[in-house]
């Protein structure tokens, strides 16, 4: 039975390594996602700025059209100046031109303000594009590293499984089935050390008589609390 217990201990060591590597393998997509999230946010921010720029440019175009219409109106007024006969009509005509020129001045200011907004938002877009490039470069680098690590883990798992198979063949099928049931139930630990009358699998006390028996016998014994196979280190 001592030989079987040694086989179980060796098997447990391999299975702990397998569990550890499987956890690491599952964590890799989450790790990649940590770097994908900032990139998605940067792309979303860029899209908002681009929408904002399109809106400003549309308003700017509308104001420029209005400005052109005012210029055309002023030009028509000036063309009509020579046809005016009375002083009263002439004074009214000048006031009309003056009002149009004041309106043009306001429109020009509005266009200039919108041009400044276009410049500001365009600068923000340029910065965000640079940020996205940096995020993509970092993500590509991280992904390459993690993909390489993933391949290494897969190779390590294959090697561990190759080491595992000959051990399993030497263990009684009933004991192995019990081992696997405990392994699944406990999340990867079916064989635990007993130390100072405590099971180091569940950290519950072991009855003194059982602890003495573990020390003095080669029988395969289990923890009464968690059913794990127990052993003592020499």
Looking up tokens 């798992």 gives 157
CA distances from 144 to 54, 59, 69 (A): 37, 45, 59
One domain, residues 149 and 36 = yes
For residue 42, the tally of other CB atoms under 10 A from its CB is 19
One domain, residues 209 and 100 = no
Output the average pLDDT for the chain: 92
Can you tell me the distance from the alpha carbon of 203 to that of 198, in angstroms, rounded to the nearest whole number? Answer: 6
Q: Are 98 and 77 within 8 A, CB to CB?
A: no
Give which of 172, 165, 59 is closest to 107, Cα–Cα.
59
pLDDT of 78-93, one tens digit each?
Answer: 877 767 778 888 788 7
Q: State what percent of residues in the chain have pLDDT above 70.
A: 99
Looking up tokens 């904002």 gives 52
One domain, residues 208 and 129 = no
pLDDT the model gives residue 2: 80
Domain membership of residue 97 (yes or no) is yes
One domain, residues 105 and 51 = yes
Greater confidence (38 vs 153) lies with: 153
One domain, residues 143 and 220 = no
One domain, residues 166 and 180 = no
Domain membership of residue 15 (yes or no) is no
pLDDT the model gives residue 1: 65
pLDDT of 97-109, one tens digit each?
Answer: 889 899 999 999 9
* Residue 130 pLDDT exceeds 90: yes
Can you tell me the distance from the alpha carbon of 67 to that of 28, in angstroms, rounded to the nearest whole number? Answer: 59
Q: What is the dihedral of CA 48, 49, 51, 56, to 10 degrees?
A: 140
**Domain boundaries, position 196:** 172-234
Domain membership of residue 7 (yes or no) is no
Question: Which residues pair with residue 132 across a beta bridge?
Answer: none
One domain, residues 90 and 196 = no
Q: Determine if the pTM surpasses 0.85.
A: no
Number of domains in the chain: 2
pLDDT band, very low/low/confident/very high, at 178 (cuts 50, 70, 90): very high
Give the angle 113-117-121 at the CA atoms, nearest 5°. Answer: 175
* Residue 219 pLDDT exceeds 80: yes
pLDDT the model gives residue 218: 78
One domain, residues 47 and 109 = yes
């Amino acid at each position: 039975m001592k030989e079987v217990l040694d086989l179980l201990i060796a098997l447990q060591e391999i299975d702990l390594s397998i569990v550890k590597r499987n956890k690491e393998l599952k964590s890799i997509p989450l790790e990649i996602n940590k770097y994908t999230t900032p990139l998605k946010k940067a792309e979303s921010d860029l899209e908002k700025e681009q929408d904002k720029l399109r809106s400003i440019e549309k308003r700017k175009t509308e104001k420029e059209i209005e400005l052109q219409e005012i210029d055309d109106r002023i030009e028509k007024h000036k063309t009509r100046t020579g046809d005016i006969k009375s002083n009263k009509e002439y004074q009214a005509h000048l006031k009309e031109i003056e009002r149009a020129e004041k309106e043009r001045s306001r429109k020009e200011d509005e266009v200039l303000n919108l041009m400044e907004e276009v410049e500001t938002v365009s600068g923000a877009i340029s910065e965000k594009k640079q940020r996205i490039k940096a995020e993509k470069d970092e993500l590509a680098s991280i992904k390459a590293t993690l993909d390489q690590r993933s391949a290494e883990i897969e190779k390590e798992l294959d090697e561990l499984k190759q080491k595992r198979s000959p051990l399993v063949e030497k263990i009684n099928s009933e004991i192995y089935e019990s081992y696997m049931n405990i392994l699944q139930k406990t999340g990867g630990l079916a064989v635990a050390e007993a130390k100072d009358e405590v099971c180091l699998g569940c950290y519950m006390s072991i009855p003194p008589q059982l602890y003495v028996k573990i020390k003095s016998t080669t029988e395969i014994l289990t923890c009464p609390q968690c059913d794990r196979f127990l052993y003592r280190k020499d």
